[in-house]
Amino acid sequence: MQLETISLSNLDHVAAIHAASWRSAYRGILQDAFLDADLVANRQALWTKRLTPNRADQFGYLAFDPVHNKALGFVYAYAGADPQWGTLADNLHVMPECKGQGIGRSLLKAIAHHCQAANPSQGLYLWVYERNTAAQQFYAALGGQRGERIEVTVAGGGTAPEWRYSWASPAVLLERLG
> Region 110-126: what's the mean pLDDT?
96
Q: What is the pLDDT of residue 43?
A: 97
Q: Where are the domains of the chain?
A: 2-177
Q: pLDDT tens for residues 9-63?
A: 999 999 999 999 999 999 999 999 999 999 999 999 999 999 998 788 999 999 9
DSSP 8-state class, residue 95 = -
Q: Quick check: 164 pLDDT over 90?
A: yes
> Region 105-127: what's the mean pLDDT?
97
Is the Cβ–Cβ distance between 89 and 102 less than 8 Å? no
DSSP bridge partners of 124: 87, 167
The CATH number that domain 2-177 falls under is 3.40.630.30
